[in-house]
């Protein structure tokens, strides 16, 4: 979710940023995993920054 607009990035935007494009069969799980990792990183950064 974007911090400023409260909107999630489009799945195709995330897939477009990947160096190695996932197949259609793998796309759903890989994009979801990358999205969660990005959110975890941002939350870790923000929670450390706010303290």
Please state the rounded mean pLDDT for residues 2-9: 68
- Is the residue at 3 inside a domain? no
Domain span holding position 29: 11-50
pLDDT of residue 21: 87
Q: Is residue 29 part of a domain?
A: yes
Single pTM value for the model: 0.67
The tens digit of pLDDT for each residue in 22-42 reads: 888 999 999 999 988 888 888
**Rounded Cα gap, residues 31 and 19, in angstroms:** 13
- Helix (H) / strand (E) element for 45: namely helix 24-50
Mean pLDDT of the chain: 82
Residue at 1 is within a domain: no
How many structural domains is the chain composed of? 1
């Amino acid at each position: 979710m974007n911090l400023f607009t409260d909107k999630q990035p489009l799945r195709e935007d995330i897939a477009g940023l990947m160096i190695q494009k996932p197949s259609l069969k793998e796309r759903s799980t890989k994009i979801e995993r990358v999205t969660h990792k990005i959110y975890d990183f941002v939350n870790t950064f923000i929670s450390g920054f706010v303290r």
